[in-house]
Chains A and B, each alone.
Chain A
Amino acid sequence: AQKVTQAQTEISVVEKEDVTLDCVYETRDTTYYLFWYKQPPSGELVFLIRRNSFDEQNEISGRYSWNFQKSTSSFNFTITASQVVDSAVYFCALSGSGAGSYQLTFGKGTKLSVIP
């Protein structure tokens, strides 16, 4: 069975602070894919990134960066110099490569509040 754990339920930061959202996953698949999605108050899930299990290189996209560590089964997400528009619920998700690879397994999400 696959499982995604986002231990941080809610985080509040002051604007311009850096913040890291943690994600720990469990899977028996040797090939798998990890995702981050953003859900603003409007409700629509916005795709941020997909990484496959063979690529442990960290990725940076503007103020966003992702740290994938297979040894600790973690895929953490850092926002640098946070802005009020970053306020949302962030979900980490996992899909495998075997049976059931069609579905995303989501964590419970981390609600980020950026205070001006």
Chain B
Amino acid sequence: ETGVTQSPTHLIKTRGQQVTLRCSSQSGHNTVSWYQQALGQGPQFIFQYYREEENGRGNFPPRFSGLQFPNYSSELNVNALELDDSALYLCASSLGPRTYEQYFGPGTRLTVT
């Protein structure tokens, strides 16, 4: 196990609702990245947080937002949920923002109906 934890494990929401997913990074890691993994696909980068600020962002709309807290834990918020947001959301922590190995949590399975 990597020491990265995510909550909740599973979540069912209705289209148009808002959701918050949580991630606790591995001890000593100051960087958290979020990925979306649709069924049968590879993970896609959403954004990264380093020292409580967004350090980079993938091709996701602004309704995907995040936070990082002083203890380096992080939240992913998604507003106005769409059916296509149904996916496994993975959080990864690393020692720093660039090129380091990223250690992944077990993921949160989000289903939007």
- Residues in A lying within 8 Å of B, measured CB to CB: 4, 33, 35, 37, 42-47, 50, 52, 91, 93, 95, 97, 100-109
* Residues of B in contact, count (CB < 8 Å): 29
**How many Å lie between the Cα of A47 and that of B88 in the bound state?**
18
Once the chains are docked, how many angstroms separate the CA of A29 from the CA of B36? 25
A93-B44 Cα distance, complex, nearest whole Å: 11
| Selected A-B contacts with CB under 8 Å, 11 pairs | A43-B109, A44-B2, A45-B90, A47-B104, A91-B43, A97-B98, A101-B98, A102-B50, A103-B56, A104-B43, A106-B43
Name, among A35, A45, A109, the residue most crowded by chain B CB atoms within 10 Å (CB to CB). A45
Q: Interface of B with A (CB < 8 Å)?
A: 2, 31, 33, 35, 40-45, 48, 50, 55-56, 58, 88, 90, 92, 97-99, 101-107, 109
CB distance from B70 to the nearest CB of A (A): 20
Complex-state Cα separation, A37 to B37, whole angstroms: 14
Partner of A44, one of B55, B56, B98, B107: B107
Instruction: Please name all residues of chain B whose beta carbon is closer than 8 Å to the beta carbon of A101 when the two chains form the complex.
Output: 98-99
